[in-house]
Amino acid sequence: MKVVEQIKQPIAYEMDLFEQKFQLSMSSKVALLNRITHYIVNRKGKQMRPMFVFLVAKMVSNGEVSERTYRGASVIELIHTATLVHDDVVDDSNRRRGFFSVNALWKNKIAVLIGDFLLSKGLLLSIDNNDFDLLKIISIAVREMSEGELLQIEKARKLDITEDIYYEIIRQKTATLIAACCSLGAASVKPDSAHVESMRKFGELIGMAFQIKDDLFDYGDTQIGKPTGIDIKEQKMTLPLIHVLNQASKKDKKWLINSVKNHNKDAKRVKEIIAFVKDNGGLDYAVTKMKTFQEEALQLLESFPDSDYKSSLKLMVNYVIDRKK
């Protein structure tokens, strides 16, 4: 059995029901809108976000979920989908998970409006049901994701990223959404409990590990959907490179910064940068940091009694580290 199927097993019923509720939450009176949202729903990914919501909810409440849990999962998915549709417009990307993106098929104007529609659907789903605590969790995540993206753009121009700034960028850009899923799961069944904050921290730690793993793929030899060296070509400063830059001699540092800034489209030079980072311990350092985040996340699960949901969350944490793409 595939790992993702194994993780999903204890919440298979909830995930099936969620699918139906999620499709309903997207419906509109406008035929064009329904056609596009139908296209989006049928090309979904692994659905890790709703899985986090349901697994955490069931772990902290001894197997219980409520209508709020379903709404929380739908809100996360609606708002996450909205940000992906908008991201594809911002990045001028024609592909999403191997399929044409919304902007590639229906142009930018419609894609932006679709993103806005999904965002408002998510907000209204919470407001109409007085889930203001859930809405606050997701709204903070959206704000942080935007700030993280802008911080990264600002820093990419100067290439002056310290390790601390890098952690802040990935915390906001990637970890904050997974943190929101986990705290939403807890808040949906145990509002105002200490679990809401501890599960937010748990999700944040997984998100940090997840992003470092993604950064490591840039230096890999296997094809994983994105070509190696793509971060360097886009002048994204990731942990392996930042660590090596901080350790390098003045001469090597100058060569590295010049290479990333002015020769990032030169395939031969990108290969040289990758080799330099590997030879100077950049990957080993990043792997160590990633495993630290993983261990801290697993530690936070220890206070809960053993259950299928806890086992699945452990599997999920390890999957983030061990995945091949």
Over 50: is that where the pLDDT of 210 sits? yes
Spatial distance between the Cα atoms of 214 and 208, rounded to a whole number of angstroms:
10
> Which is nearest to 252 in space by CA: 229, 282, 228, 227?
282
DSSP-based three-state secondary structure for 46: coil
The reported pLDDT for the residue numbered 223 is 43
Counting Cα atoms < 13 Å in the Cβ hemisphere of 152 gives 21
Q: How confident is the model at residue 306 (pLDDT cuts 50, 70, 90)?
A: very high
Higher pLDDT, 175 or 158: 175
Instruction: Give the contacts of 136 (CB within 8 A, at least 6 positions apart).
Output: none
What was the pLDDT predicted at 96? 67
Is 143 a residue whose pLDDT tops 90?
yes
What are the residues facing 19 on neighbouring strands?
A: none
Split at pLDDT 50, 70, 90, the class of 218 is: confident
Task: Give residue 228's pLDDT band: very low, low, confident or very high (50, 70, 90).
Answer: low
E-only strand ranges, the chain: 95-96, 99-100
Q: According to the model, what pLDDT value does residue 30 have?
A: 83
Question: What band does 86 get if pLDDT is binned at 50, 70 and 90?
Answer: confident
C-alpha 150/C-alpha 247 separation (Å) is 27
Q: Measured in whole angstroms, how far is the alpha carbon of residue 182 from the centre of its chain?
A: 12
Give 232's pLDDT tier (boundaries 50, 70, 90). confident
The predicted model gives 316-323 an average pLDDT of: 87
* Inter-residue contact 130 to 71 (CB < 8 Å): no
- Start-to-end CA span in the chain (Å): 18
248: left (phi over 0), alpha (psi -120 to 50) or beta: beta
For the chain, the domains span: 3-304
pLDDT score recorded for residue 224: 42
Residues in the chain: 325
Residue whose C-alpha is closest to residue 182's, from 81, 300, 23, 321: 300
Q: With contact defined as beta carbons under 8 Å apart, do 40 and 59 qualify?
A: no
Q: In the structure, what pLDDT confidence band is assigned to residue 34 with cuts at 50, 70 and 90?
A: confident
Radius of gyration of the chain from Cα atoms? 20
pTM: 0.88
Give the Cα separation of 79 and 50 in Å (integer): 12
User: Which of 153-167, 276-290, 298-312 shows the lowest per-residue confidence on average (mean pLDDT)?
Assistant: 153-167
Q: What is the pLDDT of residues 277-300, one digit of tens each?
A: 999 999 999 999 999 999 999 999
Element (H, E) at 252: helix 250-262
Give the chain's mean pLDDT: 86
Q: Is 311 exposed, middle or buried (0-12, 13-18, 19+ CB in 10 A)?
A: middle
Q: Which amino acid is at 27?
A: S
Kindly report which listed range (54-58, 105-109, 198-202) carries the lowest average pLDDT score.
Answer: 105-109
Please say if the pLDDT value at position 42 is more than 80: no
Q: What is the pLDDT of residue 88?
A: 75
- What CATH code is assigned to 3-304? 1.10.600.10
Checking if the pLDDT of 172 tops 60, the result is yes
Please report which helix (H) or strand (E) contains residue 165, including its range: helix 163-170
